[in-house]
Amino acid sequence: MIATPNDRFPDPLLGEFTFVGRSNVGKSSLLNALLGKKVAFVSKNPGKTKTINYFKVNGKFYFVDLPGYGYARTSKKDREEWRKIIERYFSERSWNMKLLFSLIDSRHELMESDEQLLEWLQILGISPVVLLTKTDKLSSNELNKQISYFKRVLSEYGVEKIIPCSSLSKEGIEDVWKVIVEALQN
Ligand code: GTP
Ligand code: MG
């Protein structure tokens, strides 16, 4: 695991798959579920991941765990710091991304901070795969409703692929691997 300091990213010889989303949405948990082991730090307290964390997978590519955005109760200084880290990643490093996974909590509506990110990604010409997280907390009826809702609103941001998933029940984990493998073959 490499926690990048502000001035350096790891050698771009290997492509990277990046995970971005609001604080507490389940980015680190999803990385652990994908890898089947605990590599990323999970916490009940939002704002746990504060640096850009690179995880080398099978010596072939990186998973990148970005710090979460949008947590209201952090100080303005911290939020500003996170914004800088994320902006720097996208402006200087996103060229090395194979795919961007944008995580959104399946239980809620799209929040303003999600909208801001999606608008910004559109400007940058990046089309994320959206992962709707924590589906184990919804009944199948509720989940279907949320999927229709997200399909509708996310199409406005040019999002083409949505995968419902849960780090707890492992729903969708195989589907996420499928798009990773596909992206590696391109
Ligand atoms: P930051 O690093 O603060 O940005 O958070 P994060 O997006 O990395 O979230 P993290 O993986 O640390 O998870 C936050 C909380 O949500 C923890 O209490 C997790 O146990 C819980 N959680 C994550 N994924 C799931 C899930 O699929 N189902 C349920 N029920 N809880 C989850
Ligand atoms: Mg985290």
Give the Å distance between the CA of 27 and the centre of ligand 1.
Answer: 7
- Is 23 near ligand 1, meaning CB less than 6 Å away? yes
Burial of 185 per CB tally in 10 Å (0-12, 13-18, 19+): exposed
* Residue percentage of the chain with pLDDT more than 70: 92
Residue indicated by tokens 């964390």: 53
Contact between 135 and 165 (Cβ < 8 Å): yes
CATH code for the domain of 169: 3.40.50.300
Measured CA to CA, the distance from residue 130 to residue 146 in angstroms comes to 13
Residue range 22-48: average pLDDT? 84
Domain limits for position 114: 2-185
Give residue 183's pLDDT band: very low, low, confident or very high (50, 70, 90): very high
Model pTM score? 0.93
Ligand 1: which of 42, 101, 165 to mutate, judged by most atoms within 8 Å of the beta carbon? Answer: 42
| Ligand closest in space to the Cα of 82 | 1
pLDDT, tens digit, 9 for 90 and up, residues 91-125:
899 999 999 999 999 999 999 989 999 999 999 99
The count of domains in the chain is: 1
Give residue 63's pLDDT band: very low, low, confident or very high (50, 70, 90): very high
